[in-house]
Amino acid sequence: SIKLSQRVQRIKPSPTLAVTARAASLRAAGQDIIGLGAGEPDFDTPEHIKQAARDAINAGKTKYTAVDGTVELKDAIINKLKRDNGLDYQADQILVSCGGKQSFFNLAQALLDDGDEVIIPAPYWVSYPDMSLLAGGVPVIVQAGQDQAFKITPEQLEAAITEKTKLVVINSPSNPSGKAYTNDELAALGDVLVKHPHILIATDDMYEHILWADEPFSNIVMACPALYDQTIVLNGVSKAYSMTGWRIGYAAGPSELMKAMKKIQSQSTSNPTSISQYAAQAALEGDQSCIGEMLVAFKERHDYVVEQLNQINGVSCIPSDGTFYCFPDFNAILNRMDSIDNDVDLAEYILEKAGVALVPGSAFGLNGHMRISIATSMDNLVNAMDRIAKLLNDN
Ligand code: PLP
C-alpha cells in the first residue's frame, strides 16, 4: 500500500461536495431525491458574461496570462473595490486566482508556519480549518450559536487570541449561517484587532451581494480603516454572478503578502483560465442588475422556507440576512428521537425517509443544525418542506 503524507492525512474531503455527490448517486439509482445541499446559485450565468467569454475565444485570448491576472481584470477589480467598498488598492495588491478557494489556499500557504493559530468562528465555511491544517496551522474554533445569531463577540475574540495567533477569519454574510455582521459589530471586533498588529484578518466577502439585511454591506476594513495594512479582502464572481464553474476569485491586501501568494500560485496553477478572466471582467464592469434578479428570488424562497421550518415541531430557524442558506436548529428533535444521536445520523435519516439532502451542521463546526440551501426552485422547496414536516412531525 502507498504511504501517504502526514499532511494529507490531516484533512478530509469537503463534506458539502460529498452530500451533493451522495444525492446525485441516489438519484442516478432511481430514487426521488431533492437536493438542498448545493453551494451554488441555480441560475444560468448572465448572457453578457457568456458572450464576453465567446468573444475572448474568438479573439484568440486563449494563452497564458500574467500569473496574477490580466491587467484589465485587475483594473476591474480595483474599480469594484473602490465603487462598492470605498477601498483603494494598487495593481500589486491584487491577485486573481482559480476561485475563492485558491485565494484562501494561497493565503494559508503564504502565511502559516507549523503551530500558527488561525481563529475561525463556527459555524464556518468547511474549507477554512482544513486548508489551515494543510499549511501546518492550528484552527482555533470560536463557537457562535444561534442565541448569538451565529456571530462572535469582541470578548470571545479577545479571549481566543494568543501570541501564536497569526490569522483571524471573518465571513459575512456567512456560509452556512446566512447571518451578516453589522458595521457596528465589525467596528467592535476591529477595536480588538487594532491592538494586535501582528494578526492578519481575512475578510471573506464572497456573499457580499446576496444580502437583504436592513444595513448595507460592510466588512472589517470598511468598518475600521485603521486595519487596512492588517487585512486581506477575499471575494470572487462565483456566487454573485452565478459563475461557480468559471473558477475566478480574487484577493486584495498588503503587497508583500500578495507577492508571496502570487509566488505560490506561480508554482501551482499559474494563471486562472484566460477565458474565465475575460468573463469575470465583463461581470464586474457590466450591468449589475442581474444580481438584483437573483436576490429577489432568493429572498422570496428564504421567507417561505424559514416560515415552514418554524412550523415543524422541534425546529427553530432565525431569518438569514443574505446568502442562499438557512441554518435551522434541530436539537429539540435530536433530543426527543431515541434512535438518532446526532445531526449526521439525522441528515441520513431525512435523506433515506424523506428523500431530501441536507448538510449536517457538524460539517460546519456546529452540531444539531442543518444547512438548507435555497438555491433550487420554489417547487422543490415546497415539496421538500412538506416531506420534512411530515417525517419529523410524526417522530
Ligand atoms: N468562501 C465562501 C464562504 C464560500 O462559501 C465559497 C464557496 O462555497 C468560497 C469562498 C469559494 O468559492 P469559489 O472557490 O467557488 O470561488
Ordered structural domains, the chain, with CATH: 6-44+290-393 (3.90.1150.10), 63-285 (3.40.640.10)
* DSSP codes joined into one string, 44-82: PPPHHHHHHHHHHHHTT--S---TT--HHHHHHHHHHHH
- Whole-structure pTM value: 0.96
Q: How far is the CA of 100 from the centre of ligand 1 (A)?
A: 5
From CA 390, how far away is CA 312, in angstroms rounded?
9
Q: How far is the CA of 191 from the centre of ligand 1 (A)?
A: 27
* DSSP codes joined into one string, 289-344: HHHHHHHHHHHHHHHHHHHHHHHSTT-B-PPPSBTTEE--B-HHHHHH-TT--SHH
Nine-digit cell string for 229: 495594512
Q: What's the count of helices (H) and strands (E) in the chain, helices before strands?
A: 15, 12
Write out residues with Cβ below 6 Å of ligand 1: 39, 99-101, 125, 171, 175, 204, 206, 236, 238, 244, 249
From CA 68, how far away is CA 43, in angstroms rounded?
28
Residue-wise pLDDT tens for the chain (395 aa)? 999 999 999 898 777 777 778 888 899 999 999 999 988 899 999 999 999 999 999 999 999 999 999 999 999 999 999 999 999 999 999 999 999 999 999 999 999 999 999 999 999 999 999 999 999 999 999 999 999 999 999 999 999 999 999 999 999 999 999 999 999 999 999 999 999 999 999 999 999 999 999 999 999 999 999 999 999 999 999 999 999 999 999 999 999 999 999 999 999 999 999 999 999 999 999 999 999 999 999 999 999 999 999 999 999 999 999 999 999 999 999 999 999 989 999 999 999 999 999 999 999 999 999 999 999 999 999 999 999 999 999 77
Closest residue CA from atom 8 of ligand 1? 39
Q: Judge contact between 257 and 108, C-beta under 8 A.
A: no
* DSSP codes joined into one string, 91-124: GGGEEEESHHHHHHHHHHHHH--TT-EEEEEES-
Q: How far is the CA of 383 from the centre of ligand 1 (A)?
A: 28
Q: How far is the CA of 138 from the centre of ligand 1 (A)?
A: 21
From CA 121, how far away is CA 174, in angstroms rounded?
10
| Nearest by Cα to 371 from 392, 350, 353, 352 | 350
Q: Judge contact between 167 and 173, C-beta under 8 A.
A: no
Cβ-proximal residues to 232 (8 Å cutoff; 6+ apart), any chain:
107, 200, 201, 202, 203, 251, 252, 253, 254, 257
- DSSP letter at 286? S
Q: How far is the CA of 2 from the centre of ligand 1 (A)?
A: 32
From CA 251, how far away is CA 299, in angstroms rounded?
28
Check residue 303 and give its pLDDT.
98
Give this complex's ipTM.
0.99
Q: Judge contact between 139 and 120, C-beta under 8 A.
A: yes
- Please report the atom of ligand 1 found closest to the CA of residue 237: 16
